Amino acid sequence: MTAQEKTLLPLLAGLCPMHAVLDTQGHVVQAGPTFAKLFGAQPPLGMRFLDLIELRRPHQAEDMVALLACAGARLRLRLRASPHTALKGVLLALPGGGAVVNLSFGFSVVEAVRDFGLTGADFAATDLTTEMLYLIEAKSAAMEASRKLNLRLQGARIAAEEQAFTDMLTGLRNRRALDHVLDRLMQSEQDFALLHLDLDFFKQVNDTLGHAAGDHVLQEVAQRLRDTVRVDDLIARVGGDEFVILLLGMTERAPVRDLAERMIARLEEAVLYRAQECRISGSIGITLSCAYDSPDPARMMADADLALYAAKGVGRGCARFHEPPDQDVAPMRGIA
Amino acid sequence: MHGLVNRAIERFVRDTYGRDVWIGTIHKLDLGFTEFEAMMTYEPRITEQVLTVVGNRLARGRDDLLEDIGTYLVSHPATEALRRLLRFGGVDYVDFLHSLDDLPERARLAVADLGLPGLELQDRGGGLYHLHVGLPEGHDLRLGPVVVGILRAMADDYGALALVEHQGDGADHEIIAVRLLEEGFAHGRAFALGVGGSAA
């Protein structure tokens, strides 16, 4: 080591607190205060640098010659002892023999400040580590606040959608929801039965007992319809006393007919409103998606409407399938 | 006004006086909600209205209320994250004071649209510092007293003995005087750099 080096090297402690000076044999002869902190209370003076720290890139090194061979290169290193902290560094040869190594943490810094109890004073005044730690914490806090806001907004959106698709009086789906589901069924080419239900004698309830009674009856109807269909089926209230029911996966007439009959039977059970018996019934027009080469929602709705009209024509309280015009019209058994 | 400001007022009232006091107070404004979103923006007049009803409810003058909020922001466990972010500014209280010029810029790195007032520290020598707090644009809400509360609480945090006083308004700024009596007066609160780190 030259006399000039002896004067200048102590300056390194202030400029590069994580440096070490190595002698010609690769032993640590001077250690910056932060470098020393990596090894506990005592500066590791006299220890072989490569016994303390493992050089991993650009190549492994077992002796000082190998270390000096990568002078000036970006080094990737690791503490040999636990917690095996990853380090970055650079090594420069001293003209008088030996070398200076300067280290930093890179991405391991978050764990390192905790593992070694480092403070702002352990980093050089020009070092951006503290700013980086600040940013990590500030951004994490801001992200967390944004994440919570997103969760609340998502909850609000789901609630709003639910409300937009719900008939507020009965809790059934509304026309908008029906259109939505029909579109989806068309796109996924799923078969279903479409039932158009119109209540019979409902107007009389409204006229004689008032709108409150009518509302009560509609709510009761909704509950009875829900009891009749399966969980995945859809019931939408599409008008004052009109409902559309989609029975998913139904391609046979017989089970659909059974269900429609059960539905009408349930509707004909008296509804009590303030000790008054309200009696209604329902007519149903039915069409099956599998009856069409390429089903179209508007066409199916129109056909179910025709079938409903036919059912009403035969008498109240009965269900009819839509029949293509060229086939014989065979009315279903009336239930009333 | 950034939601974080309104949220800070809300958290101060809730954490210090309880949920009922907050709900009872905010209902008076009939805003249609009782909680501010930290990451949304509100009309400046809402902040003004909130400060007025909160001040009336707590029988605190505007400046006292703002200073209490500043103290709360640094010293309450619920706002530990903010205290930590401020502590990143300096290794000791003087270093921290000198970092205040950068604070709006630092805050902007984390929350781009926060829009803190400009801060400028003047070293008058002999341990006396003057901090100029810019008056915000677009509204006339003065935040100087909040800064007074923060500076006092941060002095405690660093263990420094300092007198902090609001000295009134200049043309486009408020002036806060900090007289540092003793840097290492007491053991400050611990601050470990590591994220969520325990006391070092």
Q: Per-residue pLDDT for A187 more than 80?
A: yes
Residues of chain B neighbouring A133 (CB-CB closer than 8 A): 88, 193-195
Q: What is the pLDDT of residue A335?
A: 46
- How close does chain A come to B173, measured CA to CA in Å? 27
B200 vs A146: CB contact, 8 Å cut-off? no
Nearest to A113 among B37, B90, B197 (CB): B197
Question: What whole-number distance in Å separates Cα of residue B74 and Cα of residue B82?
Answer: 7
For the residues B163-180, what does the mean pLDDT come to?
Answer: 93
> A140-150, pLDDT tens digit by residue?
888 888 888 88
A138 vs B37: CB contact, 8 Å cut-off? no
Q: What is the pLDDT of residue B200?
A: 30
Lowest-confidence region among A233-242, A289-298, B77-86: B77-86
Active site residue A241: yes
What's the pTM? Answer: 0.65
Describe the crossing of helices B3-17 and B44-58 by its angle, rounded to 10 degrees: 10
Q: Counting one residue from A and one from B, how many pairs have CB atoms under 8 Å apart? A: 67
> A8-54, pLDDT tens digit by residue?
888 998 899 999 999 999 999 999 999 999 998 788 999 999 999 99
> What is the percent of chain B with per-residue pLDDT over 90, rounded to a whole number?
59
Q: Per-residue pLDDT for B44 more than 70?
A: yes
Chain-centre distance for alpha carbon A119: 39
Residues of A with CB under 8 A from a CB of B: 110-111, 113-114, 117-121, 130-131, 133-142, 145-146, 149, 152
Q: What is the pLDDT of residue B182?
A: 85
Extract the tokens encoding A229. Answer: 């269909």
Question: What whole-number distance in Å separates Cα of residue A109 and Cα of residue A87?
Answer: 9
A117 vs B111: CB contact, 8 Å cut-off? no
Residues of B with CB under 8 A from a CB of A: 4, 37-40, 81, 84-85, 88, 90-91, 106-107, 109-111, 191-195, 197, 200
Q: What is the pLDDT of residue B138?
A: 67
B17 versus A114: the higher-pLDDT residue is B17
B85 vs A137: CB contact, 8 Å cut-off? yes
**Could you tell me the pLDDT band of residue A191, with boundaries at 50, 70 and 90?**
very high
> What is the percent of chain A with per-residue pLDDT over 70, rounded to a whole number?
96
Extract the tokens encoding A262. Answer: 């059960």
Question: What whole-number distance in Å separates Cα of residue A139 and Cα of residue B82?
Answer: 12
Domain encompassing residue B40: 3-59
* Domain assignment present for B72: no
Q: Where are the beta strands (DSSP E) in chain B?
A: 119-125, 128-134, 161-169, 173-182
Q: What is the pLDDT of residue B199?
A: 34
> A66-124, pLDDT tens digit by residue?
999 999 999 999 999 999 999 999 999 998 889 999 999 988 888 898 899 888 889 99
Task: Map out the domains of chain A as residue ranges.
Answer: 3-124, 128-164, 175-321
- How close does chain A come to B3, measured CA to CA in Å? 11
Superfamily of domain A175-321: Reverse transcriptase/Diguanylate cyclase domain (3.30.70.270)
- Cβ atoms within 10 Å of A99's Cβ, excluding its own: 19
Q: What is the mean pLDDT of chain B?
A: 89
Asked if B99 and B170 sit in the same domain, the reply is yes
Q: What is the pLDDT of residue A28?
A: 96
For the residues B37-59, what does the mean pLDDT come to?
Answer: 92
Nearest to A134 among B40, B85, B91 (CB): B85
- How close does chain A come to B69, measured CA to CA in Å? 20
Q: What is the pLDDT of residue A150?
A: 87
Q: Per-residue pLDDT for A198 more than 90?
A: yes
- Write down the catalytic residue from A167, A200, A233, A241: A241
Q: What is the pLDDT of residue A238?
A: 95
> B60-100, pLDDT tens digit by residue?
999 999 999 999 999 999 888 889 888 888 889 999 999 99
Q: Per-residue pLDDT for A268 more than 50?
A: yes
- How close does chain A come to B109, measured CA to CA in Å? 7
B91 vs A117: CB contact, 8 Å cut-off? no
Asked if B99 and B168 sit in the same domain, the reply is yes
Asked if B100 and B27 sit in the same domain, the reply is no
For the residues B146-163, what does the mean pLDDT come to?
Answer: 95
B193 vs A141: CB contact, 8 Å cut-off? no
Extract the tokens encoding A162. Answer: 């639910």
* Domain assignment present for B112: yes
* Domain assignment present for B84: no
For the residues B134-154, what does the mean pLDDT come to?
Answer: 87
CATH number, domain with residue B164: 3.90.1520.10
Asked if B51 and B99 sit in the same domain, the reply is no
Asked if B99 and B151 sit in the same domain, the reply is yes
Q: How many domains does chain B have?
A: 2
Nearest to B85 among A114, A138, A145 (CB): A138
Nearest to A141 among B81, B191, B200 (CB): B81
Chain-centre distance for alpha carbon A199: 41
User: Domain A3-124 has what CATH class?
Assistant: alpha beta
Stated as kind and residue range, the H or E segment containing A76 is strand A75-79
Q: What is the pLDDT of residue A55?
A: 96
Whether residue B60 contacts residue B93, with contact meaning beta carbons closer than 8 Å, is answered with no
The complex's ipTM works out to 0.72
Return the residue in B33, B92, B183, B193 with the most chain A beta carbons within 10 A, the one to mutate for interface testing: B193
Whether residue A177 contacts residue A235, with contact meaning beta carbons closer than 8 Å, is answered with no
* Domain assignment present for B97: yes
Q: Between vectors from CA A169 to CA A167 and to CA A175, what angle results, nearest 5°?
A: 20
B85 vs A110: CB contact, 8 Å cut-off? no
For the residues B132-147, what does the mean pLDDT come to?
Answer: 84
Nearest to A136 among B90, B106, B195 (CB): B195
